[in-house]
Structure 1
Amino acid sequence: MTPTINRLLVVGLGLIGGSLAKAARERGLCREVIGSSRNPDTLSKALASGVVDRVIIDIGDVAGDLGEGDVVLVGVPTLTVPDIMHQLQPLLADSVTVTDVASVKGSVVTAVRRAYGKMPAQFVPGHPIAGSEKSGVDAANSGLFDDHRVILTPLQETGKEHLQRVRGLWQGAGAVISEMTVAEHDEVLAATSHLPHILAYTLVDTLAGMRENREIFRYAAGGFRDFTRIAASDPMMWHDIVMANDQALLAVLETFTDHVDQLKYAIQNKDSEYLLGVFTRAREARNHFAKMLENKAYLEPMTQTIDYRVSPGNSVTGSIRVPGDKSISHRSIMLGSLAEGVTTVTGFLEGEDSLATLQAFRDMGVVIEGPQSGRVVIHGVGMTGLKAPACPLYLGNSGTSMRLLAGLLAGQTFDVELTGDESLSQRPMERVAGPLRQMGAVIEAQQGGRPPLRIRGGQALKAIDYCLPMASAQVKSSVLLAGLYANGTTRTTEPAPTRDHTERMLTGFGYPVRREGAVAELDGGGKLYATNIDVPADISSATFFMVAAAIAPGSDVTLTHVGVNPTRIGVINILQMMGADLELTNHREVGGEPVADIRVRYAPLHGIDIPEDQVPLAIDEFPALFVAAACAEGKTRLTGAEELRVKESDRIKAMADGLTCLGIQAIPTPDGIDIQGGTLRAGEVDSLGDHRIAMSFAIASLRAQGNILIRNCNNVATSFPGFVALANTVGLKIVEEIR
C-alpha cells in the first residue's frame, strides 16, 4: 500500500516542478501544495494560475513545520541543488520525504551526502523524462507526465516508505516508473539525452557562424528543424547539466567522435560497404527502438490481450500460399551471417521468432537489409566476423533461436548472454547446454537449466561423437553448429529421424556435411560461402489448412510451394493413415529443399495408433492433428511424444484441457494422449499464449456446434503473421477481440 501524502512543498517552480505541483493539486494527490521560488513574479503567476495552493519565498518559513506524510520536491537547476540541500538539512525532520528532478544524479547524491554528512533514508533521487520547448511556471501542464517515464535511483540507505511515497506521487501524476542505479542513470542519460542536446547546440552554432551558410536556415527541411528543436531549450539548464555530468558525457563523446572519424574515413575512401552498414544498422535499430517503446514485436508483450471468437463454418476452399518456413528462415539468417559474401533470401518469414534471430545478428554487427515483402539481403562477415553485442541478445519467445545460437556462439571469442520472454525463460535448455559443455563450452544457466544463458567466449572447442537421448532437431543442430568451430570431426546420432534443414543448408553454403542414416558429421574449421535461398512455405503453417479441409465436409484447398522435406512430412503421412484425401503435385527442388503443392479434399477420418517413428517428423503439427483426431471416428492414440510437454506450453495438457472443454474425451498420458472422436460443442478454451494451440482451436470451429472463444492469442504472430485474414478468405469465421 502506497503511503499517503499530506503536504507537498515544491522548491523551484519551473516547467517540471510547476507541472507536478499542478498535477498534484488537480488530481488530489495531497492535501496542500506549497510553492517556493526566489522570484516573486513566479510565485504570483503560480498562485494566480492555480498551480499551487499557497506560496513562500523563504523555505525556512515552512520547512521546519513539515513532518510525517509531507514531501519536499527540489526542482531547481542541477548546480543549485547543493545550496538548497544545505538549507533544508537543519530544518527537516527525518520523517519528511525529500526527492528531486535533476537530470544528473551523481552530483545530486554527492551534494546530499555533503549536506547531511551521510545519505539520509528520507532522500529519494528521481528524474522525470518529460519536457517541453517552453519553460517556466507559465508552461506548467498537469498532463506533462502522463505515460512518460520517471526514473528513480534509490540508494542502499533509502527508506522503503519514502521510496513508496515518491513512487505513488509520480504514478498519481500519470508517470510510468523505472529504477536504475545512479551510475547507470547518468551513463544512459549522457548517451540518450545530453549528447543529442549538445550536438544540436553545436550544429546550430556552427551553421550560424558560417556567413555563407546563413541562408540555409531559410530552406531547412523538417529533419533539420526536428533535430535542432532541442537547441531551443534553456541554455543555463544545459550548461549546468553538462558541468554536472562531465565524466559520463566525455566517455560517450569519445565513442561518438571515434565513429564520426570512421565515417569520415569511409566517405573519403568511398567505402560503400561501411556506409551501407552504418545506415542500415541505424535505420533498423531506430525501428527496433520504436517497437520497444510501443510494446510491439518481440521485445515486450502487447499491453492488450487478443482473443479469437470463432463461429462455426461449413467448408474451406481456395488456393493459398502460407508464409515461409520458420526453421529455414532462422537458419538462413544464421548461416548467411557467417558466410563470405552477400546472401539474398526470398520468402523469409516475417514473424516475431524469425525477426528475433535477425535482430540478434544485427546486434552482433551483421549488415542485414530488409525484410521487405519476404526479401532479406545479408552481408556476411565470415566465420570469425561476429562482434560482441552491447547488451544481452533478446530472443523473445523463440526456443529455436536460443538453442541454435547457443551452439553457434559457444565458439566465439566474446561473452554473450541470451535472454527471452517469460515463456521462454521457463523452458529447459540443459539438453543443449549439456553436450556443448562436453565440447568445452562454458555455459551458465538458471536453476533447472533455464534461461538466461551466459556463454563465455574464447573457449577451445573439441569435437564430440554425440548420441542424442531423444530425437530433437534443435539439439542436433546446436551441436553441429558448435562443431563448425571445434577441433576435429563432430558427429551426431539420433534415435529417430528429425528435420535436417541445418545439414541441407550447410551443404548449400558450401560446407561439407556427411550423412548416413541416423548419423550426421562435419569437420571444424571450414568456411561458408554466400548463396541465394528461396524459403518454401512452412508445412507447419500449411497444416492448419490441411486439417481444416480434411475435417470440414465440402472442403477443397490447395496449398502452393510447400516445403516437403522428408523429415517434415509426418503430418502428411499421419493424415493419409487417417483416411484424408491428400495429393502432392508439382514436385520440384528449391535451394536443396523439396517443394510441392498440396491439395486436400474432405473425406471421413478414422482414428489410428500413431506410429512412433512419425512423431519426430510431425512434432510441431500435433496440436492441429489432435483436432483431426477429435473429428475422426474412433480413438487416436499418440505415444513417444514427451517433447510436446516442453514446447511454448505443455501442448499435451493444453490440448487435452481444451478438447475436454469442447466435449471431446481426451486423456493425457506422460508421453502422449488418447483422443476419442466425437462432437465438438461450443465453449471457451485458453491457448496459454501458445500460437499453435490458438490456431488449432480456430480450425476446430469448422465442426463445432457453436462459437468457440479462444483466449490469449497474441503469439500467433510468432509463426504465422496474417493468419486470421488468410483463414477468413478460405471460409473460417474468426473475429479478433481486444481486452
Structure 2
Amino acid sequence: MQSSFDKTPLLFKQVCVIGLGLIGASLAQAIKDNGLSERLVAVDRHVPSVDEAIKHGLLDAGSTRLTDVVAGSDLLIIAVPVQAVQAVFTDIKAAMDNGQLATDCIITDVCSTKVNIIEAAKSVFAALPTGFVPAHPIAGAENSGYHARRANLFVNHSVIICELATTSSSAIAKLQQLWEAVGATVMPMAADHHDAILAHTSHLPHLLAFNLVEQLASHDDNLDMFRYAAGGFRDFTRIAASDPKMWHDIFFANERAIISALDEYGVYLQTMRQLIIDKDSTALMGLLGRAQAARRHFGHMLASTPYTDTSAMSASYNITPSNTVSGTITIPGDKSISHRSIMLGSLATGVTNVTGFLEGEDALATLQAFRDMGVSIEGPDKGRLTIHGVGMNGLKPSKTPLYMGNSGTSMRLLAGILAAQSFDSVLTGDTSLNKRPMERVAAPLRDMGAVIQSTGHDGTAPLSITGRDTVGQPLQGVEYDMPVASAQVKSCLLLAGLWANGTTTVIQPEVSRDHTERMLSAFGYPVTVDGNRVSIEGGGTLTGGDIAVPADISSAAFFMVAAAISQGSELTLTQVGINPTRTGIIDILKLMNADISLSNETHVGGEPVADITIRSSNLQGIDIPEYLVPLAIDEFPVLFIAASCAQGRTVLTGAKELRVKESDRIAVMADGLQTLGIDCTVTEDGLIIEGKGIEGKGSNADSNEVNNSQPVFGGGHITSHHDHRIAMSFAVASLRASKPITIEGVETVNTSFPGFAELANQVGMSIEVHDSRA
C-alpha cells in the first residue's frame, strides 16, 4: 500500500534493519508501506520479534545474526542501543571483508548521540566508509518494542543528518529521499552541535525526570507523595517510564554535553533558589513570565505561524446573510498604542501599568521581543500589564532572532530602537511579513549611521542590525523628508533619535497618526511638533507611569460600516480612541452622508476618546480627499464595502501605501468585490468603485427613511490572502449580501481583533468559524 505522501520510486534493492525496537520497526514498516525497497530484512536478538515480523509479511528474511541476512543489502539501518553500535560496526566490516556487502553501501543509524557513534566507526574501519551517514530521527512514543511500531511515527517530525566530509553526496541525498518519503523533514547539523542540543532538550529532561521520581520514592512518606501527586508531576515525570538501559547508555555516551547542560541547569536552579529566599517578586515574576511566554512563542516562531495561533492556518468564515445590527459594545484596545506602551514602558525608569492592552498576535509579538531582551513583564491578564522598565540602556541581546509574527509595526519600530543598541540583533517574521518592504525604515536609519542588512533585492526581512559597540559610534540626528506619509517610518526614526547625537527631525508630506509623539510626552520625553515637522533631542530619559489604552478606532471601523450599510441598525461603540490623526474613517463616512454622532468625549492617557453611535444611512459616493488618506489608511478595505453600498461612484487616489500592507489591499479587495458582483477599477494609486446603493425616501436623520433593504453583493468564495482587514471587511459585506459568503484565511484576524466573530454575532451577524483540520 502507498501512503498519502508523494509517490517515491524504489530507492533500494535490499534494506537491512538492525534492531526491531520502536524506531527500527517503525522505520521498517514505513519503508514497507511506501514501497521503498525490493526486499526488507532485519536482525534482532529477540527471536519472537523477528518471527512475528516475517509472519506479518513485514520482512522477507530475519535472523539473530547479521551474516545470515545482510548479503546484497545496499542500505543498513542501525537501530540498537548506543553502547552496542561498535559491535554492529565490527559485524558490518566483517561482511564487507568477506564480500557480502559492497564497501560503498549506505550505513546509517538512528541513535540519539552522534559524536560517539562516529568515534566508534573510526575505531572499527581503517577509514570511514563513503556511505556512512549518521542520523537521528526526533521521534518517539511512550511504548517501546516491536509491537509499538507505527508507520506514521516520523510524519511531520525532524530527522537530523550529520554530513561528514568523508561521506559521498549521493549517499546523503539518497538517505534524505528515504526520510522525506516516510514523512519526515531532514535537517543537516554538525555532530558535536547535535549532541549539545540534544543534551539540553532531551537527555537533561529525562535525567531530571528519573532523578525526581527517585527523590520522591526515597522519602519516608513516599506513598502519600505519589498518591497525591498533581498533574504537573505526572506530566513531567512521564518520560521516567522510558527504558533505563537505553538512558544509562545515552548518559555515558554523551557525557561531556550532559555534564555541561547539568552545570548550566544548576546555575539557573541556584538563581531561582536565591530569588525565593530574597523574596524578589519582580525578578521571579520576570523569570516565570519569560519562561511561560517562551514555551508558546518558540513553537510559532519555528513554524512561522501567527503568534497566538488560536486556530488553524486553514480557518475560514462561513457567513449567512443578515440585515441588521444593534446594541452597545466595547471594542478591543488600540493596537498602535498597545505596541508603543510596551516599547516605551520597557525603556522607561520605574514601573509602567497598562490597562486596555490588546491581547492580539501583533502586540503579543512586541511583548515577547522585549521579554527576550530581558524585560520583566507581568501579564497580560484581562488587558492589564505591569512592565518593569530597564531604562534607556538596560536592554540585553536576545539569544535568538526576535520573531515579529505578522506585525509590520513591531518590526519597523523595533528597527529604530535596535539600531541604537550596543548589541547585534536579527528581526524576522512569518512568511507574509518577510515579504514586506523594510528599506523604507532601513535607508533613513543608515543615514543616521545605523548598520542594517536587509534580505534580497527587495529589501525585506530578516533584518540584521549591527550593534553600536561594533560600529564604534552613536547614531547621529538627521533631518528626514519623508516621500510618503507613514506613521511607522516616522516613529522608527523618532525612537532611534532617543539615542542619537543632536536633533532628529522628520518632515511629513501629510500628517500621520501621532501616537508615538503623544506617548513620548506621557513618559516625560519632550517632543517638538511644528506643523508637519516633528523633532526630538537625543540623550533624555523616560519615566514609567500609567497608560490606559483606548478602544481601537481601526477595529471600530468594521462596526461603523456594518451599522451604516444595514437596515434599521443602531450601534454604540464605547470609549473609542478619536485621536485626530486617526479619525479619517469618521470624516470620510460623514462625507458619504453617514449618520454618526459622538458623545461622552474625554481624555484617557493623553488620548481623546468618545462613545460613537452610528445608524443606518443613505451613503453617497464621493471623491475621497487625499489629505484624509493617511488618516484612514488601515480602514480603506472596509470603506470599500461602504462605497459598494453607496449611491454613485467613489474614487480613491493617493493610496499607494495600501499596496504594501499584509497584502496588496487594493488588488485583493478589488478581486473580492468583483467576485461579489461589484464593478470596480484598480488604478496605480487607488480604486474606483461603482456603488449599487438605492436612493432613500427621505432625510437621513430618520432611520425609517433609509433604504438599505436591497442586497448589493451576491454570494461567493473570498480569499483574504491571510490579511485580517480583508477578512473582516468581507464579513461586514454579508449584511447586504443575497447569498452566503465564505472567506478563507481568517486566522490572522487575531493579529488585531481577537474575538471579532463572537462580537459580530452578538450584534446580529451570523458568522460560523470553520477549522478545516477538524
Shorter-chain-normalised TM-score: which range?
over 0.9
Task: Give ranges in structure 1 of 5+ residues lacking alignment.
Answer: none
Structure 1 letter corresponding to 2:91: Q
- Which of 242, 261, 279 is equivalent to 2:288? 279
- Which of 538, 542, 551 is equivalent to 1:524? 538
Q: Calculate the TM-score normalised by the size of structure 1.
A: 0.93
State the distance in 2 between where 1:730 and 1:224 align. 45
Structure 2 letter corresponding to 1:317: S
C-alpha displacement of 1:344: 1.8
User: In structure 2, the residue corresponding to 1:413 is in which secondary structure?
Assistant: coil
User: Closer, same or farther in 2 for the Cα pair 1:560/1:214, shift >3 Å?
Assistant: closer
User: Closer, same or farther in 2 for the Cα pair 1:504/1:304, shift >3 Å?
Assistant: closer
Q: Which residue of 2 aligns with 1:9?
A: 16
User: In structure 2, the residue corresponding to 1:79 is in which secondary structure?
Assistant: helix
Instruction: Kindly indicate whether the alpha-carbon contact (under 8 Å) linking 1:51 and 1:140 is maintained by their aligned counterparts in 2.
Output: no
User: Closer, same or farther in 2 for the Cα pair 1:225/1:309, shift >3 Å?
Assistant: closer
User: In structure 2, the residue corresponding to 1:7 is in which secondary structure?
Assistant: strand
Cα-to-partner distance string for 1:112-157 (whole Å, 9 max, x where unaligned):
4555555545333222233345544465455544554433344466
Q: Which residue of 2 aligns with 1:718?
A: 751
User: Closer, same or farther in 2 for the Cα pair 1:345/1:26, shift >3 Å?
Assistant: same
State the distance in 2 between where 1:613 and 1:293 align. 41
Q: Which residue of 2 aligns with 1:549?
A: 563
State the distance in 2 between where 1:550 and 1:118 align. 79
State the distance in 2 between where 1:309 and 1:405 align. 37
Q: Which residue of 2 aligns with 1:107?
A: 116
- Which of 596, 602, 620 is equivalent to 1:606? 620
Q: Which residue of 2 aligns with 1:248?
A: 257
Structure 2 letter corresponding to 1:397: N
- Note if 1:573 corresponds to 2:587: yes
- Note if 1:231 corresponds to 2:261: no
Deviates further, 593-602 or 259-268: 259-268
- Which of 391, 395, 409 is equivalent to 2:400? 391
Instruction: Kindly indicate whether the alpha-carbon contact (under 8 Å) linking 1:367 and 1:379 is maintained by their aligned counterparts in 2.
Output: yes
Task: Give ranges in structure 2 of 5+ residues lacking alignment.
Answer: 1-6, 693-711
Q: Which residue of 2 aligns with 1:55?
A: 62
Q: Calculate the TM-score normalised by the size of structure 2.
A: 0.89
**Equivalent residues in 2 for 1:588-607 (5 A)?**
588-607=602-621
Cα-to-partner distance string for 1:429-466 (whole Å, 9 max, x where unaligned):
11101111111111111122110000111251111122
User: In structure 2, the residue corresponding to 1:620 is in which secondary structure?
Assistant: helix
C-alpha displacement of 1:367: 1.6
Instruction: Kindly indicate whether the alpha-carbon contact (under 8 Å) linking 1:486 and 1:524 is maintained by their aligned counterparts in 2.
Output: yes
Instruction: Kindly indicate whether the alpha-carbon contact (under 8 Å) linking 2:61 and 2:69 is maintained by their aligned counterparts in 1.
Output: no
Deviates further, 16-25 or 379-388: 16-25
Structure 1 letter corresponding to 2:523: F
State the distance in 2 between where 1:513 and 1:304 align. 42
Cα-to-partner distance string for 1:204-224 (whole Å, 9 max, x where unaligned):
445556668797456544433
- Aligned identity (percent) is 53
User: Closer, same or farther in 2 for the Cα pair 1:318/1:118, shift >3 Å?
Assistant: farther
State the distance in 2 between where 1:23 and 1:339 align. 57
- Note if 1:401 corresponds to 2:410: yes
Cα-to-partner distance string for 1:301-348 (whole Å, 9 max, x where unaligned):
965412323333222222111211110111111111112222221211
State the distance in 1 between where 2:445 and 2:595 align. 44
C-alpha displacement of 1:504: 0.7
Deviates further, 56-65 or 433-442: 56-65
Instruction: Kindly indicate whether the alpha-carbon contact (under 8 Å) linking 1:22 and 1:52 is maintained by their aligned counterparts in 2.
Output: no
Tell me the number of residue pairs that the alignment of Structure 1 and Structure 2 aligns: 736
User: Closer, same or farther in 2 for the Cα pair 1:516/1:30, shift >3 Å?
Assistant: same
State the distance in 2 between where 1:138 and 1:544 align. 56
Q: Which residue of 2 aligns with 1:684?
A: 717
Instruction: Kindly indicate whether the alpha-carbon contact (under 8 Å) linking 2:79 and 2:111 is maintained by their aligned counterparts in 1.
Output: yes
Instruction: Kindly indicate whether the alpha-carbon contact (under 8 Å) linking 1:2 and 1:164 is maintained by their aligned counterparts in 2.
Output: no
C-alpha displacement of 1:392: 0.4
C-alpha displacement of 1:538: 0.7
C-alpha displacement of 1:284: 2.3
C-alpha displacement of 1:483: 0.9
Cα-to-partner distance string for 1:182-215 (whole Å, 9 max, x where unaligned):
3442222111111112223344445556668797
C-alpha displacement of 1:253: 2.7
Cα-to-partner distance string for 1:656-703 (whole Å, 9 max, x where unaligned):
222222222211111112222124333333221111111112212222
Aligned Cα RMSD in Å?
2.8
Instruction: Kindly indicate whether the alpha-carbon contact (under 8 Å) linking 2:312 and 2:771 is maintained by their aligned counterparts in 1.
Output: no
State the distance in 2 between where 1:309 and 1:210 align. 58
- Note if 1:696 corresponds to 2:758: no
User: In structure 1, the residue corresponding to 2:551 is in which secondary structure?
Assistant: coil
- Note if 1:731 corresponds to 2:764: yes
**Equivalent residues in 2 for 1:639-718 (5 A)?**
639-678=653-692, 679-718=712-751
Structure 1 letter corresponding to 2:278: N
Structure 1 letter corresponding to 2:687: I
State the distance in 1 between where 2:717 and 2:45 align. 64
- Note if 1:19 corresponds to 2:52: no
State the distance in 1 between where 2:674 and 2:264 align. 60
State the distance in 1 between where 2:734 and 2:309 align. 30
Instruction: Kindly indicate whether the alpha-carbon contact (under 8 Å) linking 1:3 and 1:164 is maintained by their aligned counterparts in 2.
Output: no
Instruction: Kindly indicate whether the alpha-carbon contact (under 8 Å) linking 1:609 and 1:636 is maintained by their aligned counterparts in 2.
Output: yes
User: In structure 2, the residue corresponding to 1:677 is in which secondary structure?
Assistant: strand
Instruction: Kindly indicate whether the alpha-carbon contact (under 8 Å) linking 1:207 and 1:214 is maintained by their aligned counterparts in 2.
Output: no
Deviates further, 159-168 or 606-615: 159-168
**Equivalent residues in 2 for 1:110-509 (5 A)?**
110-113=119-122, 115-118=124-127, 120-137=129-146, 139-140=148-149, 142=151, 144-145=153-154, 148-155=157-164, 162-163=171-172, 165-167=174-176, 169-170=178-179, 175=184, 177-206=186-215, 216-217=225-226, 219-289=228-298, 297-298=306-307, 304-447=313-456, 448-458=458-468, 459=471, 460-509=474-523
C-alpha displacement of 1:506: 1.1
Structure 2 letter corresponding to 1:733: S
Structure 1 letter corresponding to 2:503: T
State the distance in 1 between where 2:490 and 2:506 align. 6
Instruction: Kindly indicate whether the alpha-carbon contact (under 8 Å) linking 1:292 and 1:300 is maintained by their aligned counterparts in 2.
Output: no
Structure 2 letter corresponding to 1:451: A
Q: Which residue of 2 aligns with 1:582?
A: 596
User: In structure 1, the residue corresponding to 2:731 is in which secondary structure?
Assistant: helix
State the distance in 1 between where 2:447 and 2:740 align. 52
C-alpha displacement of 1:507: 1.1
Cα-to-partner distance string for 1:518-576 (whole Å, 9 max, x where unaligned):
12222222222221222111111111111111222322111111100000001110111
